[in-house]
Amino acid sequence: MKTLLLPSGSAIPVLGQGTWNMGEDPAQRKREIDALRLGMDLGMHLIDTAEMYAEGGAEEVVGAAIHGRRAETFLVSKVYPHNADRRGVQAACERSLRRLGTDYLDLYLLHWRGSVPLAETLEAFEALKQAGKIRDFGVSNFDTDDMQEAGELPGGDSNAVNQVLYNLARRGIEWNLLPWCRARAIPVMAYSPLESSPGEQRRMLGNPHLKSIAERHGASSAQIALAWLLQQENVIVIPKAVDPKHVRENRAAQDIVLTAQDLREIDQAFPPPTRSTPLDMR
Ligand code: NAP
């Protein structure tokens, strides 16, 4: 699996597995665990989760999936903004570690910006790093001005990633956030790469131009959408899939090389931004 380097020098895989909506339904638990394990068998060792997902339920599913396989996993979790004060971060991290059945996270993110001063959250992350509970920390749903502000605070230069909504139909970050992060070698993690809501996903993946590119490659529209993201410099992609056919397809998307002609057609079907817009969020 291809990797990028975090500012700390640690390698992070460019293709991983999301877990939002996992852990909600006990009847789905085995399928979810099997999907994550299949993904790892195929080389997708990065798993993205959060204390928010099923209020800890997703972390428990991940814990079961990585049981006995912690060393091969790159584990990412996130803290709620309302837990992001000095003591709250530490307690939330301990709870996540317990549910995940591990004693460290590879990456711990602030899920979105709340009312706790950023300086306090960064200080708390730094303390967790010193204590060996997390290897790196970063943020999610931060726009360029938030990134700038974080970068100027003590510990801000250790901010390892920004996880944001990015896919073919939502290219706003290409105007300034993505170049800003690239210039500083801070990887961007693209969430909802396939547009998680069924209606929006149908609209994006049903695009006739996307379908014809997919046909040329003998691939699905979803694979082309992922391949396009994987071809972007400095971008990590974390599709969530429970259906084993989807898991296999997503892994195989890394092997698709889009041509200059494909990229031109994609730009026509899903135009890049022509002005600055506020960051899109789920
Ligand atoms: P997504 O990964 O873009 O889409 C997930 C949906 O697409 C599921 O319904 C899945 O179905 C389906 N799917 C997966 N692979 C497919 C394929 N090859 N062909 C057709 N359909 C496919 O959406 P997401 O879950 O919102 O985003 C991915 C991850 O990003 C999340 O799980 C979470 O870890 C993270 N995230 C972070 C934030 C944040 O605020 N930081 C927000 C949203 C998401 P099946 O499950 O049935 O296979």
Identify the three-state secondary structure at position 15.
Answer: strand
53: annotated active-site residue? yes
pLDDT single digits (tens) 118-165: 999 999 999 999 999 999 999 999 999 999 999 999 989 999 999 999
Q: Which residue has the tokens 């301990």?
A: 94
What does the pLDDT average to over 99-122?
98
| Paired strand residues for 16 | 46
State the Cα–Cα distance between residues 143 and 188, nearest whole angstrom: 11
Q: Is the pTM of this model over 0.85?
A: yes
Q: Which of 53, 108, 166, 191 is an active site residue?
A: 53
Per-residue HEC secondary structure of 114-151 comes to: CCCCHHHHHHHHHHHHHCCCEEEEEEECCCHHHHHHHH
pLDDT single digits (tens) 202-236: 999 999 999 999 999 999 999 999 999 999 999 99
With a cut of 90, say whether residue 109 has pLDDT above it: yes
Closest by CA to 22, choosing from 239, 209, 221, is 239
Ligand 1 touching residue 189 (CB < 6 A): no
The encoded tokens of residue 147 equal: 């990134």
Ligand 1 touching residue 96 (CB < 6 A): no
CA 1 → CA 12, 191, 209, 251, 254, distances in Å?
A: 10, 19, 29, 10, 9
Ligand 1 touching residue 170 (CB < 6 A): no
With a cut of 90, say whether residue 196 has pLDDT above it: no
pLDDT single digits (tens) 246-257: 999 999 999 999
CA 200 → CA 30, 78, 169, 206, 247, distances in Å?
A: 28, 25, 9, 10, 20
Are 54 and 24 in contact, with CB atoms under 8 Å apart? yes
What does the pLDDT average to over 62-88?
98
The percent of residues in the chain predicted with pLDDT above 70, rounded, is 100
The percent of residues in the chain predicted with pLDDT above 90, rounded, is 98
For the CA of 49, the closest atom of ligand 1 is: 34
Closest by CA to 175, choosing from 278, 280, 274, 269, is 274
* CATH (residue range 3-195+235-242): 3.20.20.100
Are 190 and 235 in contact, with CB atoms under 8 Å apart? yes
Q: Rounded to the nearest 5°, which phi and psi values hold at 112? A: -160, 170
The encoded tokens of residue 145 equal: 């001005």
